[in-house]
A and B are shown apart, each in its own frame.
Chain A
Amino acid sequence: MLIIDCPWCGARPEIEFRYGGEAHIARPADPAAMSDQEWADFLYNRTNPKGLHAERWRHIHGCGRYFNAVRDTVSDFFVTTYKAGEPRPDIGESGK
């Protein structure tokens, strides 16, 4: 079982968590000013990298908080986790 480091609770088993999609996607301030293509990009299009991916997780069966994690999509290795609202840590393109 994967162990995920909740920024609030510490190391916890993966079954307590739910995936929440790509992180750091801000809702546009003025959707009416956007083209259909730009709006579709915001709604549906994600980076889907092979390698490090900043993504949202929720400790739903724990403290209930959303937080962010950087995970390597090749190895499923969690490189780091950090609280929602904090910037993406400056790390390289791929983990180990």
Chain B
Amino acid sequence: MTFIGMPRGTGNLTGAPFPEAASEALDNAQLRRNLAKATGTIRAKRAAVVDELPDWAALRAAGAAIKDDVLANLDTYLLRFEAALTERGSTVHWARDAEEATRIVTELVTATGAREVIKVKSMATAEIGLNEALAAAGVAAVETDLAELIVQLGHDRPSHILVPAIHRNRAEIREIFAEGMGATDLTDDPRVLAEAARAHLRRKFLTVDVAVSGANFAIAETGGLVVVESEGNGRMCLTLPRTLISVVGIEKIIPAWQDLEVFLQLLPRSSTGERMNPYTSVWTGPTEGQTSHVVLVDNGRTATLADPDGRAALRCIRCSACLNSCPVYERTGGHAYGSTYPGPIGAVLSPQLTGIDRNPTLPYASSLCGVCYDVCPVAIDIPSMLVHLRGRAPKPRAEAAAMRAAAWAMSDHRRWRRLLRAGRLGRALGRRPMLPPPLSAWTRARDLPEPPRQTFRDWWDTR
């Protein structure tokens, strides 16, 4: 159900058709090695810290229930959040879509006269294409998350929610840093690379006066925003500059402070495989001498909320466990999904936000193996949602005709048995026939089973 006027998601949410983009990525052996290694390590860490919690199932159910309550009462919670935050001295802005959100932020930044902003790692700003919009206005956005910095200096795109440079290995990172920072004395040692990034960023922290952040959670009761991170660079951005602009998807709401108890257990264990992440920053309105703006972004979320089969996607806390566990993601990497949100959740969320017509291939980018549902800390049944989305996806004509014919045969046993008997004639084709597309996709890499002399049912009748 979509109501007239409900904004659809715009910005960085679409790309080339998945099958073609995936084929290209699959040809990159280095990428596959990097991904297999990185996701394998993080999967093992996650499994260890999740298995040690006796009440994981209860925590997961609680996380899902809290988010479902938020989604059912989102209007109330958002207004409560706005009122609390306004009272604490922040200015709240509302943005329908990517264009409106980037325009608001760009105007706020240019009003300060700044030519540079420092950024806390944020999915929402990537989704709306903020860096590109700021660049067009002559403002440089500097990413301060180490992996985001690698992506930015490499003129690359993020390929993972949590580790945007997961497709890069150390040697590649050294080259990117050498080029991007003009550093000549680097080695592949992670400590050396981290030190180079630290020196580079320290200069920015001390000179840039505007920061842009996202938020992992927005607390309706208090107006508080929460950023969960590993490096502490986000905290530098949140505290040093005099202007802080936070871009927050409207589904990031949690009702109250105490709900963090649940999510701060679910999130780090699911994302980095840690019991607790090193830095959790919570701020409620501006600190003394600071100006704070919060931009609440819809960009297709209300439309997603209106869809009973799709709204659970808004529970997502962007932990990336589903990406790390997905056998498709592990082989294709994140770029193949063409959206800020890759992996299983991206295959659901991107078409939900943009509408299926702008993302028709993503719902099929899954073997429906179900491992994403198993690991999701807020129990999003991604496979079932993919199946629902497939129901709405535009279908190739020949496929639709074949499926209609098959359904006609399969809904009556006499027709079906006649078809199967005819199929035995396929014996003449042998095991490696040249089949027309799309069936040729099967025989490129696999032999066909030889059709038997007799179907099971014909055998049964002779017994």
> Are A and B genuine complex partners?
no
Q: Which residues in B have some Cβ–Cβ distance to A below 8 Å?
A: none
The residues of A with any CB-CB pair to B shorter than 8 Å are none
